[in-house]
Amino acid sequence: MNFNVLNPADWYVWMRNHRMATALLFLLIFPYLMPYEALSINILIFGLFGVGFNLLFGYTGLLSFGHAAFFGVGSYLAGISVVHAGWPWWAAIGCGVVASALVGLLIGYLAIRSRGIYFSMVTLALAQIVYYVFYKAESWTGGENGLRGVKVETIDLLGWSIDFMDPLNKYYVIFVFVALALWFVSRVLNSPFGAVIEAIRENEKRAAACGYDVARAKLLVFVLSAGLCGLAGTLRALHLSIVPIDSLHYLQSGQAVMMCLLGGMGTFFGPFLGAAVFLYLEDVITNLTRYWMGVVGIIFMLFVLFFPKGIWGTVLHRCELWLARKEGAA
Amino acid sequence: MLDISPQLFALQLMTGFALGAVYALLAIGLSLIFGMLTVVNFAHGAFFMVGAFLGVYSLGLTGNFWFSLLLVPLMTGAIGLVCEKFLVRPLYGRGIDYPLLLTFGLSYVMVDVVRFTFGIEGIPSSTPESLRGAVFLGFGHFPLYRLFLILATALIVIALWLFIEKTRYGLIIRAGSRDPEICKVLGIDISRVWLLVFGIGTAIAGLSGMLASPTRAVNPEMGIPILAESFVVTVVGGMGSLPGAVLAGLLVGVVFAMTSLIAPEFAELSIFVLMALVLLWRPQGFFGKAGLMS
Amino acid sequence: MSSQLFNKHIGRRSIVLGGAAAAVAPAWMGVARAQNTPIKIGFPVPLTGAFSAEAQDQVKAAEVAVKEFNEKGGFNGRKAELLVRDDKLNPGEAATRTLELIEKDKVDFVVGSLSAATQLSINAVCRDRKIIFNSISQSDAINEAKDWSMYTFHEALNPHLTAGAVARYAFPKYGKKLVYLTADYAYGHEMVRGFQRAGQAMGTQMLADIRFPLGTSDFSAFLPRIQSLKPDVLVMCNFGRDQLNAIKQATDFGLKATTKIISPVLLFTARVAGGADVFDGVVGGTSYYWGMEDKVPAAKAFNDKFRKAYGGAVPSDYGALGYAGVRSVLQAVLDAKSTESMKVSIALRQLRYNWYKGDQFYRKCDHQSVQSVIIVESKSKGMKDKNDVFNVVHIENADEKNLRTCDELGHKVST
């Protein structure tokens, strides 16, 4: 095909058609753009959390206030596998993902019977119940003190031994998982199923009228979303070597919503950018002023008022306009 | 294990009502704003907190509790009016999520503004002189101030009911929540109505903050846990329904109080369980979905 | 030919000389560089959130310790530097900040924390990377073998010791029938356990242990029941704002007329914020109160340093811990003549010190600082100024016997 290296429009079209490759390339060089690796790893993890959440919110149109439950369940089950059962890292990750998907099945089944704001409230209530269960199970979870000792020193894979304590190594190991998850999400969104969930977001009644089993589709996307957020949780447990109890709290759910909005819901890469901007800003602002909460609040309000599509959504929108103009002129 | 005398039961019930009174007031404000503007006001807890701070401050300044009781809702209402006009109104038509997210950000800002103005520790608050002490109710001594709380809430609810049911403006509000389009056709400036309703909702939130201030520590973070509890109440009662808010408020207060008696560490969990059960049985809450006062 | 020899001769010598110079020069330049690099102490504390007042006091006092160290010449000319970070009272954030301090800022030591959960989280990150962490807030869990390491030190009091000290003072004086109002989390449970251990030796009777969710703001639901039980002593096993709310509402319900309210920890800043009326008559423990300066000379010396640095202000209890936590580490660096973690750890284990309230040392098996506990009673009359909020009613001297045994904590070898 005609690819003119000097023509930015061609670059843009290539990137748009190969969004996965573009995203992965960016993430590969990401740690070198951030002041310290622990921040970039947090961004990876919360970016994945956002992507999982966005599957339900941006693409299906269901606003859940309880997604911290899946994130936290993933973290705790991975942590418990390592601390109490002595399982290796890959079993811990698997355990966390399966557990969060199961919890997603349960909560999803109960929640999708409600619509609109009531759906959000049911998810909030059920997630808080999960929070209390884990809070009280002190001997397993450490209760308010959190679960400590999730120590993974080396990753042994196919004869290679990677020092997981080295921050850059840790980033790239976690990157592999995030990349796989992103590829999975991309496949789901490009599939017929992906079209169905977007149809549900646009007009649920019409989707049902077209013959799609709306309830089943919603439940399935709920479970997938839960599993992805659970994966993010397991990676966080391995990264911090602790699992704090507020992984399950509704404020954590609120953070996921904010990151998605900031980045741009309904876009593929938006949540990542939202997580990056949110965490980076919080880091920078915290070192500048103790009133970081107010500053974050103002920025958030500005976005809601003037950039409802989020950063990435607005950027994409502008790029599309620019491309159309260019092609029109050509 | 635990013997609960009838006196203790009655005392605990009264305590539940006092607790529920604060919840009911907050839920009324939330329901009003949701019913009329379809806005979920995540900053409601912050208005509660601001009301508490302004109340203590004005009490310290003027020394008069009753005067402050009138002043505080006016001030928080005014802040609410400004927020509605400049922050919430531009988001009309964009769906339910955006105003929700905006008020979420607003709550962050309000907390830090209070921290900046009044300091991070909070300010000491005490029961006004005339309302101190306990009252013997036949089954035990009950704090006078909490009795006052219950009565004050009842008065406010009645006053609100009269306003909405019996006055012309109340009629417009009711109509506006049922069908904003027709109201516009009939020549009513619906945006003025929204402004007023948001103002009333936040005024009540501030008032309830001031009323609650003698019973708890007044600090910038006090609005956060109460917001979650108020949402539970609003949802259980049905979003947009005022009788629902009052009923659910009392119910949640009593459930919390009774659970505290039997299994205190599950008290907070019990209200979320209640919410989950109610929503699973009846997704729109007790009186939800239909217009404001039905 | 002779010129070749001559050249080679010179060449070899110059090579040897050059090589010697090359061998020495980097070492010399390295020494100069090492002399210039500061000794970095990471200081993660909750600058925002419910305990920001205490945390800011910790920072101020820690800066006093750093300045003192630097003015005395530092270590081989190397000055100390405090890197303060906000952990927002959030264990996940605390872990991230500690990772930042260790990986990006390359700190030599970490001192800090103001809650049980955050200190355990900071400790987990530090010990995996062999960085010394001196914790300056209360926790029983950090003494236990599960969380301990050679790099874990605990400057602050622990709930067991504090509760026990208050129990030993208050129960004989005020009565044997107790009701506990306990925050339902590890710290609350630890406090109850400390009280019960000391109380059972005196024959006290626990009428009820009422547990409430952490962060409860309205305790009115629990008070009728407490009233009906008619205890001699109401033990507030909670902390900070929870405690303020609980005491306030207990006063509203008229409990002070029949019951003495005691607490394992009375925070100076909370008392100032809560006001004299609310706390009037409440007895509790603390790691430090500035008012003991007329009894303890070390306290006067510390108070004066703080007053000089901050225009007459007095340090709070947690402030003093901030000072001691940093000063101990820096002293150990001087004693060990090194900043290498294991050497400094060994020096800390052998340290005997008296920075602000009396003699202290770190117990070998769990690195808990063995120290005195001050029992105070809050007052509302006869206050000389706004800081004169407590009367010191008793000082329980430092005694290892009051701590839990090494065996009980799971330590195999108490070397």
Residues C110-160: tens digit of each pLDDT: 999 998 899 999 999 999 999 999 999 998 889 998 899 999 999 999 999
CB contact under 8 A, C241 and B217: yes
Identify which has the larger pLDDT, C294 or A329.
C294
**pLDDT interval class at B132 (50, 70, 90):** confident
Would you state the pLDDT for residue B2?
Answer: 61
| Tens digit of each residue's pLDDT (9 = 90 or more) over B151-202 | 999 999 999 989 988 898 888 888 877 777 888 888 888 888 889 999 999 9
Residues C275 and C301 in one domain: no
Residues of A in contact with C141 (CB under 8 A): 145
Would you state the pLDDT for residue C346?
Answer: 95
| Tens digit of each residue's pLDDT (9 = 90 or more) over B105-130 | 899 999 999 999 988 777 878 788 88
pLDDT higher than 60, residue A235: yes
Q: DSSP string of chain B?
A: -----HHHHHHHHHHHHHHHHHHHHHHHHHHHHHHHH----TTHHHHHHHHHHHHHHHHHHH--HHHHHHHHHHHHHHHHHHHIIIIIGGGTTS-SHHHHHHHHHHHHHHHHHHHHHH-SS-B-----GGG-SEEE-SSSEEEHHHHHHHHHHHHHHHHHHHHHHHSHHHHHHHHHHH-HHHHHHTT--HHHHHHHHHHHHHHHHHHHHHHHGGGS-B-TTTHHHHHHHHHHHHHHH-TT-HHHHHHHHHHHHHHHHHHHHH-GGGHHHHHHHHHHHHHHHSTT-SS-SS-S--
Is the CB of residue C113 less than 8 Å away from at least one CB of chain A? Answer: no
Is the CB of residue C329 less than 8 Å away from at least one CB of chain A? Answer: no
Residues of A in contact with C129 (CB under 8 A): 165
Is C199 inside any structural domain? yes
**pLDDT interval class at B3 (50, 70, 90):** low
Residues C26 and C60 in one domain: no
Among B84, B92, B104, B118, the strongest candidate for a mutation testing the A interface, having the largest count of A CBs within 10 A, is B104
CATH of the domain at C261: 3.40.50.2300
Residues of A in contact with B101 (CB under 8 A): 257-258, 261, 300, 304
Residues A282-292: what's their mean pLDDT?
83
Is C1 inside any structural domain? yes
Residues C4-19: what's their mean pLDDT?
45
**pLDDT interval class at A330 (50, 70, 90):** low
Q: Where are the domains of chain A?
A: 8-329
User: For chain A, what is the mean pLDDT?
Assistant: 88
| Tens digit of each residue's pLDDT (9 = 90 or more) over C205-255 | 999 998 887 777 778 878 888 888 889 999 999 887 788 888 888 888 888
Is C123 inside any structural domain? yes
Tell me which of 1.25.40, 2.60.40, 3.30.420, 1.10.3470 is the CATH number of domain A8-329: 1.10.3470
Is C383 inside any structural domain? no
From A71's Cα to the closest Cα of chain B, the distance in A is: 20
pLDDT higher than 60, residue C8: no
Among B13, B26, B120, B261, the strongest candidate for a mutation testing the C interface, having the largest count of C CBs within 10 A, is B120
Min mean pLDDT across C31-40, C93-102, C223-232, C318-327 is at C31-40
pTM assigned to the model? 0.86
| Tens digit of each residue's pLDDT (9 = 90 or more) over A45-81 | 999 999 999 999 988 888 898 999 999 999 999 999 9
CB contact under 8 A, B101 and A129: no
Is C407 inside any structural domain? no
Tokens 């400049």, residue located: B86
**Distance (Å, rounded) from C-alpha B70 to C-alpha C289?**
42
**Distance (Å, rounded) from C-alpha C117 to C-alpha A143?**
9
SS (H, E, C) chain C: CHHHHHHHHHHHHHHHHHHHHHHHHHHHHHHHHHHHCCEEEEEEECCCCCCHHHHHHHHHHHHHHHHHHHHCCCECCECEEEEEEECCCCHHHHHHHHHHHHHHCCCCEEEECCCHHHHHHHHHHHHHCCCEEEECCCCCHHHCCCCCCCCEEECCCCHHHHHHHHHHHHHHHHCCEEEEEEECCHHHHHHHHHHHHHHHCCCCEEEEEEEECCCCCCCCCCHHHHHHHCCCEEEEECCHHHHHHHHHHHHHCCHHHCCEEEECCCCHHHHHHHCHHHHCCCEEEECCCHHHHHCCHHHHHHHHHHHHHCCCCCCCHHHHHHHHHHHHHHHHHHHHCCCCHHHHHHHHHCCEECCCCCCEEECCCCCEEECCEEEEEECCCCCCCCCCCEEEEEEECCCHHHCCCCCCCCCCCCC
pLDDT higher than 90, residue A242: yes
* B288 to chain A: closest CA residue: A118
Would you state the pLDDT for residue C16?
Answer: 46
Structurally, chain C folds into a number of domains equal to 3
Of B123, B124, B217, the CB nearest to C217: B217
Would you state the pLDDT for residue C32?
Answer: 46
Residues C254 and C168 in one domain: yes
pLDDT higher than 80, residue C278: yes
| Tens digit of each residue's pLDDT (9 = 90 or more) over B146-162 | 899 999 999 999 999 89
From B11's Cα to the closest Cα of chain C, the distance in A is: 7
**pLDDT interval class at B291 (50, 70, 90):** very low
Among C102, C104, C126, the strongest candidate for a mutation testing the A interface, having the largest count of A CBs within 10 A, is C104
CB contact under 8 A, A250 and B94: no
* C221 to chain B: closest CA residue: B257
Residues C245 and C282 in one domain: yes
Output the CA–CA distances (angstroms, integers) from residue C362 to C296, C319, C399, in the order listed: 21, 20, 12
Would you state the pLDDT for residue C31?
Answer: 47
**pLDDT interval class at C35 (50, 70, 90):** low
Residues of B in contact with C244 (CB under 8 A): 217
pLDDT higher than 50, residue C109: yes
Residues C311 and C343 in one domain: yes
CB contact under 8 A, C125 and A241: yes
Residues C188 and C261 in one domain: yes
Residues C338-346: what's their mean pLDDT?
94
CB contact under 8 A, B108 and A63: no
Instruction: Using CB atoms within 10 Å of the CB of residue A328, give its burial: 0 to 12 exposed, 13 to 18 middle, 19+ buried.
Output: exposed
Is C256 inside any structural domain? yes
Range of the domain at C188: 160-286
Is C366 inside any structural domain? yes
Is C106 inside any structural domain? yes
Q: Where are the domains of chain B?
A: 32-131+188-220
Evaluate whether A161 touches A173 at the Cβ level (below 8 Å): no
Residues C243-269: what's their mean pLDDT?
88
Would you state the pLDDT for residue C14?
Answer: 46
Tokens 């400390």, residue located: C194
| Tens digit of each residue's pLDDT (9 = 90 or more) over B203-244 | 999 999 999 998 887 888 888 888 888 988 998 898 888 889
Residues C152 and C298 in one domain: yes
